[in-house]
Structures are given as C-alpha cells and as structure tokens.
Amino acid sequence: MKKLFALGKQFLSILFLFISLTSCKLREKLVYLHNPVGDTTQVVKNTYSPILRVDDQLSIMVGGSDQEALAPFQFFSGGGANGGAQQNMQIMGGIHYLIDINGNINFPVLGFVHLAGKTRLEAVIYLQEQLAQYVENPVVNIEIKNFKFTVLGQVKAPGIQTVSTDRLTILEAIGKAGDLQITGLRNNVLVVREMNGQRIEYRLDLTNKSIYNSPAFYVCQNDVIYVEPNFSANFQGTNFQTYTQLGTTLVSIFLSVFTLITLTK
C-alpha cells in the first residue's frame, strides 16, 4: 500500500508539473502581442498612408465659400420643388468617382485627372491645386468607398470584408472576421499584397509586438490574409482525438481509485 501511495504521489507531481508547463507554453502561443522576457523590441511610429489604385471608388466632396464658383464642379439632381434639398444632400454625401484602368477619374471641368499611385492626402492637395484656378480657397475631401480585403483560413467568419475606413490594422481586420479560432496559427499569418502588378507576401507573428513595425501591419486595398491551421487542427477528425479521450479516461479512473485508497487508509 505504501508503494502504491508513493507511486500515486509521484504520478500526481509529474502530472501537475506537466500541466503547468503546458499551460505556460500554450499561453505564449495564444496571447496576442506577447513579448518574451528580455525582448527589447522598439515600436516605430508607422506613417502608413493608403495608395489610390485602379478600380478604387472615391467619394469626393468639394467645398468653399463661393457656392456659385463651385457649381460647375458638382453634379446635381434634377430641379423641382425639392431640388435644393436634393442638391444639398448630394453635396454632403459627396460624388462617387471610379479610378479607371488608366488611373484617372473624369472630374467636372478638369476632365481626366490622374490619381492612381497618389496617397489620399496627395490626391486632396493635387485636386485643391487644380481647383484653385477656378475657385478661391477650395476645400476637398476624399474617401475610399469600396475598401475591401479578404480573410481566409482558421477564422470564425472567413470571406471578403468591406469597410468605410482606409486605415485598418491587421488586428482590426482579423477582428472583422470574428477573430482566430483556437486552431489558428498565430505566429505565421500570411498577408498577400499586390503592388505595381507584383504579389508580395508577408509573414506576421501576432504573438509578438514586432508586428507594429511590419509594412503589413496596416491592411491595404485587396489584401488577402490567410491563417494557417496549427498543430492541433491537423489531428481533428483523426484517431488522435480518440486516443486523447481514452488517455483522459484512464487518468481519471486512476485518480479516482487513488483518492479512494487514500481516504480509506
């Protein structure tokens, strides 16, 4: 009996040690933005600004103090009793322009204006400079209306996401997809990006703060984000689960018997 008691005590010690080590290791793999002890990663301020591309749909609002001078640069709805209200609504909502295959939009009076390859701020400044020839102190605001990206793999809601902002982080993008599943590999997320006709791949470790410094930390238009399955996912639906359940059952039986023996001693 003493030998059995000593053996059981030894087994429990090993089991608790194994659970503790496994829990710590599992936490490191699951927790986002985790810095290991001694890691001195410096976070660099990211000055990302989205680049306008072909097929971007832009909402452009033009304003200024002289409404009469601005009139030629705005498309208005038809007249009628509610003409003024319709006109004001369209000015407030902006007018939508599609960047064509040549990188241009067809802007009133100015004609074809090349915006592809410019950042949103550069496009605003450029249009204001062009309009300054006709309007005093013009104000321009540009928004990308069809900013979209795709999230695939081990997330809760894979698919194409369309958002109203053009400054979105990789963490926010994954949040839009419902976050990663427990079976998702967090330290090797793939981001596929098309730039100047070429596809570039980035690998991100979501468990480390070093992603702040990655050029893929901010999502670009039409990015594809793929989350690979981790080790545990590879065994789903296989005999591994059966063996695991059997092992758990045997351990439970052993612990129950050991507890009864200890209490009746």
- Asked whether residue 225 falls in the same domain as residue 237, the answer is no
Report yes or no: 216 and 199 within 8 Å, Cβ to Cβ: no
Q: What mean pLDDT value characterizes the chain? A: 76
Is 42 among the domain residues? no
Check whether 155 has a pLDDT greater than 90: yes
Check whether 102 has a pLDDT greater than 50: yes
Check whether 158 has a pLDDT greater than 90: yes
Check whether 125 has a pLDDT greater than 80: yes
Which residue among 119, 144, 169 closes a domain? 144
Report yes or no: 211 and 191 within 8 Å, Cβ to Cβ: no
Domain that holds residue 222: 32-37+146-230
pLDDT tier at 50, thresholds 50, 70, 90: confident
CB neighbourhood size of 33 (10 A): 13
- Asked whether residue 151 falls in the same domain as residue 117, the answer is no
Check whether 243 has a pLDDT greater than 70: no
How far apart, in whole angstroms, are the C-alpha atoms of residue 180 and residue 184?
Answer: 6
Is 196 among the domain residues? yes
% of the chain with per-residue pLDDT over 70: 62
* DSSP E strand stretches across 48-179: 57-63, 95-98, 104-107, 111-114, 139-144, 147-153, 159-163, 168-169
Which residue among 97, 121, 144 closes a domain? 144
- Residue in 53, 48, 69, 154 with CA at minimum distance from that of residue 104: 53
pTM of the model: 0.65
Check whether 211 has a pLDDT greater than 60: yes
- pLDDT tens-digit map of 6-35: 555 555 555 555 555 544 444 445 555 556
Higher pLDDT, 25 or 162: 162
**In CATH, what number is assigned to the domain containing residue 66?**
3.30.1950.10
Is 245 among the domain residues? yes
Is 64 among the domain residues? yes
- Asked whether residue 135 falls in the same domain as residue 67, the answer is yes
What's the structural domain count of the chain? Answer: 3
Within the chain, where are the H helices? 2-30, 67-70, 83-93, 120-131, 170-176, 239-264
- pLDDT tens-digit map of 70-81: 888 876 534 444
Which residue among 144, 175, 191 closes a domain? 144
- Asked whether residue 216 falls in the same domain as residue 259, the answer is no
- Asked whether residue 62 falls in the same domain as residue 139, the answer is yes
- Asked whether residue 62 falls in the same domain as residue 91, the answer is yes
**In CATH, what number is assigned to the domain containing residue 161?**
3.10.560.10
Is 151 among the domain residues? yes
Is 45 among the domain residues? no
Angle at 93 between CA 84 and CA 96, to 5 degrees: 110
**Structural tokens at position 82:** 């509610």
Is 47 among the domain residues? no
Is 13 among the domain residues? yes
How far apart, in whole angstroms, are the C-alpha atoms of residue 32 and residue 171?
Answer: 9
Report yes or no: 57 and 146 within 8 Å, Cβ to Cβ: yes
Report yes or no: 134 and 140 within 8 Å, Cβ to Cβ: no
- Asked whether residue 249 falls in the same domain as residue 214, the answer is no
